[in-house]
Chain A
Amino acid sequence: MSDSSSSHDSPPPPAITGVSEPPVANDSDTNAKCQTALQSLSSIVTTATIPPTISLLLEDNAVSAAISSLLQLPDSGAGDNNLCRWLYDTFQSSEPQLQLLVLRFVPLIAGLYLSRVPLRQPQAGFEAVLLALYAHETTSRAGQAVTVNIPDLSHASIYHESKGPAKNNSTCLNIAVISSTLDPHGTVRSTRRARIVGVALELYYGKISMMPRESKLNFCESCEKWAGQNGEREEEEQPRGLIPEEESVAVGGRSEKDSGRIPLPWELVQPILRILGHCLMGMKGEDREVCEAASKACQSLYLRSLHDINPKAILATGSLLRLREMALDPKNQVDHTEISSDNVLSV
């Protein structure tokens, strides 16, 4: 755990395969850890062949799909679940590469975990993984809050000059808390559940540019379930207890009331919105499927925030939806870097 904090502070590697992390641990040690993780995974995932290296594994869709379907089994979150144990151990290895691998499944784990809470299933396995993420974040920022100074244009900045009288630089800026202080938790107390999952999502967002698209799609699906607004407004009249057949089968038929709708306090909504914002506007290339999934999730969350009459969430989700609309408007799809095409070409 001790060296993880130093690697956390370094700028993230530029690409998925970037191994440019500062070599804190020596290479052979890293390799050994990775090999152990790969070997133990191969005893859990039997339906797909495990690739020989971690960076290949990160992008291996077959293995990810196999892990995902294992996670979706009805009792996957139990304390004695092998996969949960593997995820826990893998994250605890404090190898950045291996941690990415665990983070990749955070959307699925968080989604299943929160939606299963009302079912009173044992979920010690999921909780252990989430607590490991929480503990990692708590250590790496020493429990401190993450804050932002809201700029005030009457101070000159690197990007603008201020004509106003030069104010004392120490004038108090507006301090906003992005993520409050973290207390260590050894267990998931139910009143802290949202915060612990929220921190796991913050961690996920921190590495989101390295996450594969399937992981983001998982996340968008989870959001829709959490919001519990079933997307389309017209269908709202149906009682929400009626969920699609295959879902209730997936959870072993024991959950008719599992609509997945969960309480959404701000400590969850905030990281959710950041991730959705990335899926809508921050990906390096346009990925229509992810964009559409994210905008559906946004739509559900917008409706949910109307139902909760939560002004902050209405503002944030509403603006995401309007931005999406603007992006789809052909009027706004002008390439300003294109040269003007005159009919007369001259030197």
Chain B
Amino acid sequence: MLGDQSSELSENNGESESPTLRLCANGACMKTTEVEAKLDEGNIQDAESSLREGLSLNSEEARALLGRLEYQRGNVEGALRVFEGIDLQAAIQRLQVSAPPPEKPSTKKKVPREQPQQSASQHAANLVLEAIYLKAKSLQKLGRTTEAAQECKSVLDSVEKIFQQGIPDAQVDTRLQETVSHAVELLPALWKESGDYQEAISAYRRALLSQWSLDNDSCARVQKDFAVFLLHSGVEASPPSLGSQVEGSYVPRNNLEEAILLLMILLKKFNQGKAKWDPSVIEHLTFGLSLCSQTSVLAKQLEEVMPGVFSRVERWNSLALCYSAAGQTSAAVNLLRKSLHKHEQPDDLVALLLASKLCSEEPSLAGEGAGYAQRAVNNAQGMDEHLKGVGFRMLGLCLGKQAKVPTSDFERSRLQSESLKALDGAIAFEHNNPDLIFELGVQYAEQRNLKAASRYAKEFIDATGGSVLKGWRFLALVLSAQQRFSEAEVVTDAALDETAKWDQGPLLRLKAKLKISQSNPTEAVETYRYLLALVQAQRKSFGPLRTLSQMEEDKVNEFEVWHGLAYLYSSLSHWNDVEVCLKKAGELKQYSASMLHTEGKNQNTLLTTLLTSLCINMLIFDESSVPCKVAVGALLSERGKEHQPTLPVARSLLSDALRIDPTNRKAWYYLGLVHKYDGRIADATDCFQAASMLEESDPIESFSTIL
């Protein structure tokens, strides 16, 4: 096939090769030079008659041969003139009459006796059909695509009329089949070129849903072309007609479904070795499935691709992209570890950056991620220099996350300052990257450099035009940490104005807490009530199809609201209301350390023993939860006033919590209490001092909730 095409290409370049052309029929052969000369003079009649004499042909045959000669010489106008001289419609009519009569439907196709008659009629049919086909091709080359499409369509219509029971596949003439296949493939392309998209769609479907005995490769080409058309033409195809549907089979409803279906079928064919691998198919499928955010389906398709098509590193990296887009972080990290192994491609920048990003989300992986990020920084050279800033940014994020893993204080502050250094390095490359500005701000905030943090928070809001909710929340938190509660509330209100109702949850929660901080419990209760109504409405009206654009990772849950309200009531000593709230909360979640904590306060010592044991159960479930540890520690330390033996447990829990989160004000406070009850007044003083210092810079919700 390829050989044919290369000769075709050279043939199109000039007519230098034409002397070698020969015309053969009925056992005789003749050179084309003489005929060509006549054609060049525009003397079709003469050319025809010399063919008829030389090769003993009838007029139609001679014309068809002449047309083909002209076409092959690249003289499409001449070819068109010749073809227009044949009455093709009449020829088709004749063929229809001579075609095997349809009143013998029971005839099995493969009866050998019929062969000569059949092949004779096929031969005649091919002569006519090929002529029409070449006429269509000539018209196409002249840019008359609509006429070309009509001619081409008449080829297919004729085939259907002549061979009403399908082309007998056992003894089909190869040239006839070739013409039919060509026409099937050409027709949709012609309609597309002429801009008649609806015709194109039905031509594609006709090609794929009728029996044309296409070979696998041309069928694959038509399927691919159709898929590309569906994906990119921007014309919505109506669903396939009912006639083509088999009971119970899957019928695509829209373009994307149909395109993805076709591409998947193609890929399966490749995998089964039924068609030649075409690299564009997997790319189209990648595009289509990424558009639908279905990268886990894509991963499955990639995994099924035959080995040897992609290098393994290529495959691992693509799979890692798929998995990470689908939120399957650990699968992605595992694949990247393999592809970044020193024996594979340890310097691949995209893989390094992706790996470092994924690792930066997980404290236990952050150290590993910092290594990848450093390698990315080192390797971002030459053409890829622009990615150096991204490497630095990831390095900063990983180090910042690493600082959260309990280590020594010294190690922690080293990591934190290195994290800042890396982020500062990144901003030199990407001074206009808002994400980076935000991350830098959060890093400063976590180190309690609130001035810098608020500057970056404002810069982020400016750069994003206030379009990112977390920017607003961050600024409000920073202001609250600076004890500027009323300003924080102004920011929160501004943010509420810029937010659609369904997304307001976290802001309302923030607002309620700000109200409490400003000793305004009545308004806080109002805000909580509003929030509660919102959350409940949300729960009722949200189907699975609503994706909350910016809220996915930060949904306010109802439990939290009830709990917050209970806490608020308990500070107002409205014990009945507390009980109602806690009951509601309890219906949503059976055990929760912080809820039990509130309950403990409520009913005081009666239940404490029971609560403590429940809380310890909680810790078993969630070992690293700082709030849990602090809550249990606080319970035990309060109880320790009368019951000394609980104090060591409280102390170790609280110290543990502080190792993870050294800025936890409550932990310092209760640790101070423990020391006080134990009689270590100096230690207690230190702890209380730490607690009060932190109180002055404590945000109303932890900064780590927004990154």
A147 within 8 A of B: yes
Contact assessment for B137 and A347 in the assembled complex, using a CB-CB cutoff below 8 Å: no
Contact assessment for A307 and B262 in the assembled complex, using a CB-CB cutoff below 8 Å: no
A270 within 8 A of B: yes
Of A23-31, A62-70, A157-165, the one touching chain B: A157-165
- Measured CB to CB, the closest approach of chain B to A298, in angstroms, equals 11
Interface residue from B130, B265, B468, B544 paired with A191 (Cβ < 8 Å)? B468
Interface residue from A206, A257, A282, A314 paired with B350 (Cβ < 8 Å)? A314
A14 within 8 A of B: yes
- Measured CB to CB, the closest approach of chain A to B127, in angstroms, equals 6
- A155: chain B residues within 8 A (beta carbon): 249-250
- Measured CB to CB, the closest approach of chain A to B39, in angstroms, equals 13
A328 within 8 A of B: no
Residue of B whose beta carbon sits closest to that of A313: B290
A274 within 8 A of B: yes
- Measured CB to CB, the closest approach of chain B to A331, in angstroms, equals 10
Contact assessment for B69 and A345 in the assembled complex, using a CB-CB cutoff below 8 Å: yes
Residue of A whose beta carbon sits closest to that of B436: A307
- B32: chain A residues within 8 A (beta carbon): 345
Contact assessment for A346 and B24 in the assembled complex, using a CB-CB cutoff below 8 Å: yes
Interface members, chain A 12-49 (any B CB < 8 Å): 12, 14-15
Cα(A341)–Cα(B192), bound, Å: 26
Contact assessment for B466 and A190 in the assembled complex, using a CB-CB cutoff below 8 Å: yes
Residue of B whose beta carbon sits closest to that of A318: B286
Cα(A338)–Cα(B427), bound, Å: 56
Of B95-103, B405-413, B496-504, B606-614, the one touching chain A: B496-504
Residue of B whose beta carbon sits closest to that of A117: B465
Contact assessment for A191 and B550 in the assembled complex, using a CB-CB cutoff below 8 Å: yes
Q: A191-B467, A312-B290 are in contact. Are A307 and B433 (CB under 8 A)?
A: yes
Contact assessment for A336 and B251 in the assembled complex, using a CB-CB cutoff below 8 Å: no
- B287: chain A residues within 8 A (beta carbon): 273, 277, 315-316, 319-320, 323
Interface residue from A189, A308, A332, A340 paired with B499 (Cβ < 8 Å)? A189
A90 within 8 A of B: no
A156 within 8 A of B: yes
Contact assessment for B383 and A234 in the assembled complex, using a CB-CB cutoff below 8 Å: yes
- Measured CB to CB, the closest approach of chain A to B415, in angstroms, equals 21
Contact assessment for B283 and A11 in the assembled complex, using a CB-CB cutoff below 8 Å: no
Interface members, chain B 216-261 (any A CB < 8 Å): 218, 221, 223, 228-229, 231-236, 238, 240, 244-246, 248-254, 256-257, 260-261
- B198: chain A residues within 8 A (beta carbon): 11, 14
Interface residue from B240, B265, B297, B383 paired with A150 (Cβ < 8 Å)? B297
Contact assessment for A237 and B386 in the assembled complex, using a CB-CB cutoff below 8 Å: yes
Interface members, chain A 256-301 (any B CB < 8 Å): 257, 259, 261, 263, 265-267, 270, 273-274, 277-278, 280-282, 284-285
Cα(A339)–Cα(B76), bound, Å: 13
Give A248-260 as 1s and 0s: 1 = Cβ < 8 Å from B's Cβ atoms.
0000000001010
B324 within 8 A of A: yes
Interface centre among B137, B294, B543 (most CB of A within 10 A): B294
Contact assessment for B8 and A341 in the assembled complex, using a CB-CB cutoff below 8 Å: yes
Q: How many residues does chain A have at the interface if contact means C-beta atoms less than 8 Å apart?
A: 99
B344 within 8 A of A: no
A52 within 8 A of B: no
Q: A158-B244, A312-B325 are in contact. Are A270 and B249 (CB under 8 A)?
A: no
Contact assessment for B466 and A191 in the assembled complex, using a CB-CB cutoff below 8 Å: yes
- A309: chain B residues within 8 A (beta carbon): 353-354, 357, 390, 394
B493 within 8 A of A: no
A208 within 8 A of B: yes
A303 within 8 A of B: yes
Interface members, chain B 512-550 (any A CB < 8 Å): 543-547, 549-550
Q: A177-B293, A236-B385 are in contact. Are A193 and B465 (CB under 8 A)?
A: yes
Contact assessment for B233 and A159 in the assembled complex, using a CB-CB cutoff below 8 Å: no
Residue of B whose beta carbon sits closest to that of A271: B291
Contact assessment for B432 and A228 in the assembled complex, using a CB-CB cutoff below 8 Å: yes
Contact assessment for B390 and A316 in the assembled complex, using a CB-CB cutoff below 8 Å: no
Contact assessment for A306 and B295 in the assembled complex, using a CB-CB cutoff below 8 Å: no
Residue of A whose beta carbon sits closest to that of B465: A117
- A285: chain B residues within 8 A (beta carbon): 193
Pull 7 A–B residue pairs with CB atoms less than 8 Å apart, ordered by A. Answer: A151-B250, A157-B250, A240-B431, A323-B287, A337-B182, A338-B8, A346-B23
A-side residues, CB < 8 A to B, are: 11-12, 14-15, 117-118, 145, 147-153, 155-160, 166, 169, 174-178, 180-181, 183, 185, 189-195, 205-209, 228-229, 233-234, 236-237, 239-241, 257, 259, 261, 263, 265-267, 270, 273-274, 277-278, 280-282, 284-285, 303, 306-309, 311-316, 318-320, 322-323, 326, 332, 334, 336-341, 343-347
Closest 4 CB pairs of A and B: A282-B232, A236-B386, A117-B465, A176-B292
